[in-house]
Amino acid sequence: MEELLQHLINGLSLGSIYALIALGYTMVYGILQMINFAHSEVYMMGAFFAYYSAKFLNLSSSPGFGSLAIVLVITMVLCSVLGLAIEKFAYRPLRKAPKLNVLITAIGVSLFLQYFAQLVFGADPKVFPNLIEDQTLFSIAGAPIKSFDVTILVVSLVSMGVLHFLVYHTKLGKAMRAVSHNASVASILGVNVSRVIAYTFIIGSSLAGIGAILVGIKYQKIEPMMGTMIGLKAFVAAVLGGIGSIAGAVTGGLILGVSEILVVVYGSSQYRDALAFLILIFILLVKPAGMFGKNRIEKV
């Protein structure tokens, strides 16, 4: 029982990280109908932004919420700049091009950032600074609750809460929903589509930056290839929930996180990475629209 609870908490904190990254995929897909392959690399770069800003400001010597907040803000800003740059230089010139070209470009951007990071930061893993002290805060039914997991859950919940507010209670959110529903109509009605796209990239990239810091705190190791697998899994989470749906991305992320931990604990860790692909293939073949998605009919 204790053990199961422990695993569930582990799964939830992993799942909420997936969810944060999945939100970036799902929002860009909702607006542009493209898989932003480079999103996982914005996440990876986020980890390095956090690493270097903590190092530069010498924050690891004073762990605590203050330091965490500072690193979070810096990382979110830098990730947003990176996301915007990718959108402007790689995707915007292809706004009217066939989807396949956009996909290939996105793969290109992703590969470029991976190897660029290797060149600049080195290929070896780096130890992420301690932004939060590792301690057991309290226990539920005998299971110790760690400060790391609480931080992850709190930060993710707050981020998702803010996102929910942005999307459903602000003018920007209304514009985003309008563009996602029908970009050309939205633009006729006076919505500045380019601006909405830019904000989507800012929000998605910020969330990826938050996710990167949380991963750094929990797993304490960052490297230039860290984005590939987690990016694919977050993408699977988005598809599982129904791509384009915010609630779907969160639900999908949590389901994937928990089931992955359970597979590792009760099955074989060897198949940990295959699980995501099996779920993806299954969902696409059985219900391609995902749990919360809608089927689209092709117009003839």
Partner 1 sequence: MRAIKTPLIAALGILIVASAIGLLTNSYIQLIILFLFVNSIMGMSLNLVNGYTGQFSLGHAGFVAVGAYVTAAITTKFPVPAGLIALPYFIAVSLGAGVIAGAFGYFVGLPSLRLKGDYLAIVTLGFGEIIRVSLNNMSYFGGALGISSIPSMPEIDLGGYVISTFATSLIFAIFWSIICFFVIWRLLKSSHGRCFLSVREDEIAAEAMGINTTKAKIQAFVVSSFFAGIAGALYAHFTNYVSPASFTFLMSIDAVIMVVLGGMGSMTGVLTSAFIITVLPEILRSLKDYTGGVDLRMIIYSLALILIMILRPQGLFGDKEITTIRRKNVSSST
**Whether the Cβ atoms of residue 123 and residue 116 lie closer than 8 Å to each other:** no
Cα 41 to Cα 24: distance, rounded to the nearest angstrom: 12
Q: Which of 154, 271, 287, 296 binds partner 1 (CB under 8 A)?
A: 271
Instruction: Report if residue 269 touches partner 1, rule: CB under 8 A.
Output: no
Pull the structure tokens for residue 212.
Answer: 């990167």
273/280 Cα distance (integer angstroms): 12
Separation between Cα atoms, residue 97 and residue 78, nearest integer Å: 28
Query: Is 140 among the residues that bind partner 1 (CB under 8 A)?
Result: no
How far is it, in rounded angstroms, from Cα 225 to Cα 229? 8
DSSP strand pairing (136-140 vs 126-127):
unpaired
Q: Of 192-251, which residues contact partner 1 (CB under 8 A)?
A: 228, 232, 235, 239
278-297 positions binding partner 1, by CB under 8 A? 278, 280-281, 284-285, 288
**Cβ neighbours of residue 132 under 8 Å, at least 6 residues apart?**
63, 64, 65, 68, 147, 148, 151, 217
Q: Are 71 and 59 a contacting pair, CB within 8 Å?
A: yes
Nearer to partner 1, 65 or 277 (CB): 277
Single residue of 45, 54, 76, 109 touching partner 1 by CB under 8 A: 109
* Total count of residues recorded for the chain: 300
CA 208 to chain centre: 4
Q: Does 147 bind partner 1 (CB under 8 A)?
A: no
Find the shortest distance in angstroms from Cβ 235 to partner 1: 7
Residues 153 and 141 sit within 8 Å (Cβ to Cβ): no
In the complex with partner 1, the residue whose CB is nearer, 135 or 268, is: 268
Q: Which is nearer to partner 1, 191 or 256 (CB)?
A: 256
Query: Does 58 engage in binding with partner 1 (CB under 8 A)?
Result: no
Looking at the Cβ atoms of 96 and 171, the one nearer to partner 1 is 96
Check residue 107 for interaction with partner 1 (CB under 8 A): yes
Q: What is the nearest approach in angstroms of partner 1 to the Cβ of residue 232?
A: 8
Count the residues of the shown chain that bind partner 1, applying the rule CB under 8 A.
45
Question: Is the Cβ–Cβ distance between 130 and 223 less than 8 Å?
Answer: no
Residue 125 contacts by C-beta under 8 Å, 6 or more apart in sequence?
A: 221, 222, 223
Of 120 and 141, CB closest to partner 1: 120
Q: Which of residues 81-100 bind partner 1 (CB under 8 A)?
A: 90, 93-94, 97-100
Q: Note the residues at the interface with partner 1 (CB under 8 A).
A: 34-35, 90, 93-94, 97-105, 107-112, 114-116, 118-119, 122-123, 228, 232, 235, 239, 268, 270-271, 273-274, 277-278, 280-281, 284-285, 288, 298, 300
